């Protein structure tokens, strides 16, 4: 893979924008497309070519990268773009979808003579901006070798198995993230309710076995009551539903995941676009009169 490789990047949202910027900074030729064209035009100032239609975006692309809201949106774009795809193009879907959806994308593109890689990410907007995303790729070894340098411009890619495996790895990641967010909220609320200084408790347990990125970043967010979105409650719920669907397909029961899903669903109508650290708000609703800290809630 060389810098002469042409990339089409579809989906210039909170994550797609900084990811496309990382590719441009690395020297790749990138065409960007978004349903709301104004979001794509922002990248013109940093060297991107802006396509006004989907066929225009993909017709000469060696690699197509999609970063979209959900599986049905990806499916529609693949259907719309397929007639215009260059021979032997590889489609890299970095969205979070169901494993079954990723396998359907793989079959459809393979039958048309194209490659497919599911490569969802973890690390949020900050990781996308810094180029430090954890990238979990499901692909053949041959296809992965073609795109590994491109993925490396956006973060740390790992081949975790054949097509569909990337989504499994992402679901495992989100299972741990969702569960840990709720446990950190419980720990901090308990600390304060039992008479301790919750911020001091967090500081005391850091560096021990309880240390985690969630305790570091989102524990601080909870103490500050900062729920301005990075990851969103509605996205976390989508991920939890996808985890449960994968569990059902694999014939395993995940009782903790079921409970975490219920907790996020309890605030879906009130705080859909709040950061997923709003697990604290769901917990406080179960404990009337108990509230972490005394600052105002910061919400988008």
- pLDDT tens per residue across span 75-125: 999 999 999 999 999 999 999 888 889 999 999 999 999 999 999 998 888
**What global pTM score does this model have?**
0.81
- The span from the CA of 247 to the CA of 263, in Å, is 19
**Percent of the chain, pLDDT > 90?**
83
pLDDT on residue 135 = 96
The mean pLDDT value for 125-144 works out to: 94
Q: Of these residues, 142, 170, 234, 238, which one is catalytic?
A: 170
CATH code of domain 6-162: 3.40.50.720
Element (H, E) at 50: strand 49-50
218-237 pLDDT per residue, tens: 999 999 999 998 778 998 99
- The span from the CA of 194 to the CA of 176, in Å, is 26
Query: Is pLDDT at 183 greater than 60 in this prediction?
Result: yes
pLDDT on residue 2 = 53
Catalytic: 213?
Answer: no
Which pLDDT band holds residue 3 (cuts at 50, 70, 90)?
low
Q: Helix 198-205 and helix 165-193: axis angle, to 10°?
A: 130
For the chain, what is the mean pLDDT?
93
Q: Which among 244, 12, 98, 218 is positioned nearest to 21, based on CA atoms? A: 12
The mean pLDDT value for 236-251 works out to: 91
- Domain coordinates in residue numbering, the chain: 6-162, 168-286
The top-scoring range by mean pLDDT among 38-42, 139-143, 226-230 is: 139-143
CA atoms within 13 A on the CB side of 96: 24
168-286: CATH class: mainly alpha
- The span from the CA of 118 to the CA of 124, in Å, is 18
Per the CB < 8 A criterion, the answer to whether 215 and 207 are in contact is: no
- The span from the CA of 178 to the CA of 122, in Å, is 13
């Amino acid at each position: 893979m060389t810098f002469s490789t042409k990339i089409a990047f579809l989906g210039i949202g909170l994550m797609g924008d900084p990811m496309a910027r990382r590719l441009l900074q690395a020297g790749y030729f990138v065409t960007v497309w978004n349903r709301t064209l104004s979001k794509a035009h922002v990248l013109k100032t940093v060297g991107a070519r802006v396509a006004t239609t989907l066929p225009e975006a993909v017709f000469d692309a060696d690699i197509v990268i999609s970063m979209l809201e959900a599986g049905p949106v990806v499916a529609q774009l693949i259907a719309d773009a397929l007639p215009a795809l260059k021979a032997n193009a590889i489609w890299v879907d970095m969205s979070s979808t169901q494993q079954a959806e990723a396998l359907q994308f793989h079959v459809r593109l393979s039958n048309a003579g194209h490659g497919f890689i599911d490569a969802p990410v973890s690390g949020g907007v900050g990781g996308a901006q810094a180029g430090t995303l954890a990238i979990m790729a499901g692909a053949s070894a041959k296809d992965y070798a073609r795109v590994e340098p491109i993925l490396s411009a956006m973060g740390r890619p790992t081949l975790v198995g054949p097509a569909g495996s990337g989504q499994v790895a992402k679901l495992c990641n989100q299972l741990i993230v969702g569960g840990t967010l709720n446990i950190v909220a419980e720990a901090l609320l308990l600390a304060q309710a039992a008479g301790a200084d919750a911020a001091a408790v967090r500081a005391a347990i850091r560096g021990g076995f309880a240390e985690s990125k969630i305790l570091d970043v989102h524990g601080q967010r909870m103490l500050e009551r900062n729920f301005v979105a990075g990851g969103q409650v509605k996205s976390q719920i989508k991920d939890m539903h996808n985890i449960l669907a994968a569990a059902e397909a694999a014939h395993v029961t995940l009782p903790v995941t079921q409970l975490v899903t219920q907790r996020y669903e309890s605030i879906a109508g009130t705080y859909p676009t709040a950061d997923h650290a709003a697990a604290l708000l769901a917990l406080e609703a179960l404990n009337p009169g108990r509230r972490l800290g005394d600052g105002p809630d910061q919400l988008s």
